[in-house]
A and B are shown apart, each in its own frame.
Chain A
Amino acid sequence: MELNVNGKVVKVDVSDDTPLLWVLRDELKYTGTKFGCGMALCGACTIHVDGEAVRSCSYPVSAAVGKKVLTIEGLTATDKITQAVQKAWVNHHVPQCGYCQTGQVMSAVALLQKLKKPTDSEIDSAMSGNICRCGTYQRIRTAIHQAAKDLA
């Protein structure tokens, strides 16, 4: 199977129904995308496929063929919104254990790509699929507003 991940064309030898998450992590070693639940419940595995935030644990690899897959590694290198979000995250002391945070960043970036100045309730709905067991939610909210401001 041929995939386009972070702008590179790569070949993988896995069964069609393998969730994209495990192809990225175990086969391609993009370990910035995390595993938390495997049931599209926690958002730790959030990536972008053709610009949409998706849960890679529940996204079969075969469905990604012919599409553009972006992980945190790819976005970090090139994307201004991602960099602004990351900066706001660091400045507002968001990450604790950090395990959920790449997924949080991916969801926040997808939100800011669509809405330049999201309201609290827009943040609520865009971010409610991402669990953080360390309870960094209040700071995530502040950091999204901050990133939106910095990008304006």
Chain B
Amino acid sequence: MISKSNKTDLSRRLFLQTSGLAAGGLIIGFYLPSVGQKALAQEGAPAAKPIEAPNAFVQISPDNQITIVINKLEMGQGVNTSMAQLIAEELGCDWKQIRSVSAPVNPVYNHTVFAGMQMTGGSSALSSSWLQHRRIGAALREMLKSAAAAKWQVPVQELKVENSFVIHPKKGKLSFGELAEAANRLPLPQDPPLKKEKDFKIIGQSVHRVDAAGKVNGEAVFGLDVQIPNMQYAMILRPPSPGMKIKSLDPKTAKSSPGVTDVIRFGDKVAVLAKNTHAARVGRDALKVEWDEKGKTAFSDESLMQDFRKQAAGKGPAAANRGNVDQLLKESTNNLKAEYEFPFLAHAPMEPMNCTIHFDGKTAEIWSGHQMPTSDRGAAAAILGLAPEKVTVNTVYAGGSFGRRANKISDYTSEACELAKVAKRPLKVVWSREDDMQGGFYRPMTFHSVNIGLDKSKKFLCWDHQIVGQSVIGGSMFEQFMVKDGLESTITEGVSDTAYDFANFRCHQVRAQTPITTLWWRSVGHTHTAYVMETMLDELAEATNQDPLKLRRSLLQKSPRHIEVLDLLAKQTGWAKKKVPQGRAWGLAIHESFGTVVGQIAEVSLSGGTPKVHKVWCAVHCGQVVNPEGAKTQVEGAIAYGLSAALHGEIKIENGIITTSNFHNYPVMRLPEMPEVSVSFVKTTQPPTGLGEPGLPPIAPAVANAIYRLTHQRLRKLPFSRELKA
């Protein structure tokens, strides 16, 4: 079923995959003149932006191969398939003729919401492209129909489109390939009609992923697999602690290490270049470097957390404040008080960071899994002293990301450019797993304290919440639009905007600083806020003697999507009867993130101090589901990723140095730990909302709530292993 790989194939595949241009016989040209831009500013449809250059997204060859250019990074979330489904649906093509390639950098591919750049992130691929991509497909379909109408001299109303053919009851049929050239000369239609949901043939189908075959036979080209002529492999020695400087360097032993071709110092980093990755690594290990201890600060993860606790004593600005919390706290006679600690977490995608670059002094070409190719290109151009147009950015498959590759300072791309600027030869910078885990960007450490006031009869009065967390966007271009009045949404999202209808509610935020570099990590602030909200909610249910699902339901009356999710979940599990096997317990959590509401019930047992999650039921409201099986895989994956962190995830720091280094001391979930996951979607015709991240936030609190039922222990410090002892 799958063809054999060899060297020639590989370079050809690479070209096709990265250039965004199909080989030979293109009929529809790459950029359509901007006829459409102004003509199509749709009045009365404010959500729809003008259709721009549809041909930048779709190419049709004379032999009916349809190439969809994907302006998002395929990093596992399935965009090469689901985004193509949007276009293919409206175009009316035969799905089997579709293939997907990654887009080059061009403003036509900019994000429809995060203006001014091409980017993948925030679980926004489908929601932000839903209208844009369908309108592109519809516009091209209308153009193909017009071309057929002209050829046959019939009114366009008599035509229909099916399986890549335009069909006339008397004249017969013409294939898209036959019509493309003529269609390409026609003006863009003003207002192409979009299909009704009931007529969808491709949207809503679990078509197989277009990248699946290549990913199981080894043909798929990831960043680490890119080969360019005369390429050398580079491993880089980086400062062991932030801010440390090189005092002295002796490169001799490294230089004479077998296979090493060069040792290059740039700034306070040293690169070893060699004929293969192993030789580069051995050479790097042989470098003799003395570090200046002056720049070093002796902190540990524990000292940072102590500092966070201290900062929690003074209140930061309020991210939410309604009712009269101070007064009600005075009146309360019972309180539920809790403090929570969350560690730094590494993304640890399966493919360690890497970047391949060819810089010849005048132009540069870069290959990597780019989540933000516009800013990666900008960073490269600035470092290399080139105009951005002189830098070609090739986006290839990423072996996972989970936020790591949406780097606010383009870290691994920039570093490769800094090296290439000095080295001036084709090279691939390879990060070892240790480099990746120790030199990376982390989910910030966070501290929460919560005080819930109850009256004498244990009736709920108010909720007071304080969060100390580190900025994930500080110092980046995102700061200007993601920080308002000193408040950063990533620290309190999921608490300050909670859907629970508390009349008296307050959430303060302290934006803390540490020497550790931080970044968004699958579901960002929701990774910890959902945990605190949902475990406290269970505590409140217990204190007020209510069923945890009913309590949530009563507090969510103004949020119909939450109610639908809870009802679906109750139905899925038979919550009312709660047939829980002996020795096991159920825990519930519900949380909204990225516009999507997810509820989960986890069935858990304990043996010794080790929790075993047997089963997770999951109900999801994410609008219309474009590819149901694909959507399920995203939720399953988010559950595995979140559970992995809850059970094991913790970055340790001693004396200013990250000591966690590889999967032996940063254990991650393996197959035997994976629960059976069963996902259901609320049926709706609302447009899609995010799905790459929203499956994650509820899993840890759902499991913690189940563990409480088994042990009567509230777990406040993550990962669970810190408090759950055998």
Contacts and interface: CB of A to CB of B under 8 A. Distances in A.
The interface residues of chain A, by DSSP majority, are classed as loop
A111 B398 CA distance: 28
B122 interface: no
Interface stretch (B34-42, B134-142, B261-269, B629-637): B629-637
A135 B641 contact: yes
B217 A26 contact: no
Interface string A116-148: 000000011101111111111111110000000
A34 B351 contact: yes
Contacts, number: 218
A31 B10 contact: yes
Contacts of A105: 216
A82 to B, nearest CB: 9
Interface in A74-97: 76-77, 83, 85-87, 89-91, 93-97
Contacts of A132: 350, 640, 671
Interface stretch (B218-226, B572-580, B681-689): B218-226
B447 interface: no
Given A39-B664, A136-B633, A97 B398 contact: yes
Interface stretch (B71-79, B310-318, B512-520): B71-79
Interface residues of B, number: 76
A19 B218 contact: no
A32 B5 contact: yes
Nearest to A99: B399
B221 A31 contact: yes
Nearest to B369: A97
A22 B258 CA distance: 14
A124 B212 contact: no
Contact of B4 (A15, A77, A129): A77
A112 to B, nearest CB: 14
Interface in A1-57: 14-15, 18-19, 22-23, 25-27, 29-39, 41-42, 44
Nearest to B641: A135
Interface in B637-666: 637-641, 644, 662-664
B367 to A, nearest CB: 13
B49 interface: no
B2 A76 contact: yes
Contacts of B322: none
Contacts of A133: 348-350, 400, 402, 641, 668
Given A29-B227, A39-B433, A101-B216, A131 B663 contact: yes
A73 interface: yes
B637 A135 contact: yes
B225 A31 contact: yes
A142 to B, nearest CB: 10
A87 to B, nearest CB: 6
B451 interface: no
Given A32-B5, A41-B662, A98 B276 contact: no
A98 B81 CA distance: 14
Contact of A22 (B215, B278, B674): B278
Nearest to A77: B4
Contacts of B224: 31, 34-35
Given A26-B233, A97-B76, A134-B76, A86 B218 contact: no
B277 A35 contact: yes
B276 A86 contact: no
A121 B1 CA distance: 30
A71 B218 contact: yes
A96 B77 contact: yes
A93 B208 contact: yes
Contacts of A139: 633, 636
Contacts of B77: 96
A36 B664 CA distance: 13
A37 B662 contact: yes
Contacts of A18: 276, 278-279
A135 B7 CA distance: 31
A41 B78 CA distance: 27
A72 interface: yes
Q: Name the residue in A19, A44, A132 with the highest tally of chain B Cβ atoms < 10 Å from its Cβ.
A: A132
A100 interface: yes
B664 to A, nearest CB: 6
Interface centre among B215, B220, B233, B352 (most CB of A within 10 A): B215
B677 interface: yes
A131 B670 contact: yes
B637 A136 contact: yes
Contacts of A99: 222, 349-351, 397, 399-400
A45 to B, nearest CB: 11
B611 interface: no
B49 to A, nearest CB: 30
B218 A32 contact: yes
B433 A37 contact: yes
Nearest to B277: A22
Contacts of B279: 14-15, 18
Contacts of A71: 218
Contacts of B482: none
The 6 closest A-B pairs by CB, nearest first: A32-B218, A135-B640, A99-B399, A98-B215, A97-B76, A96-B76
Given A39-B662, A97-B350, A130-B671, 18 more contacts: A26-B275, A32-B5, A34-B350, A36-B350, A44-B350, A89-B216, A93-B632, A96-B637, A98-B220, A98-B397, A99-B351, A105-B216, A131-B663, A134-B637, A135-B641, A135-B674, A137-B674, A141-B671
5 contacts: A73-B6, A73-B217, A76-B2, A98-B399, A129-B670
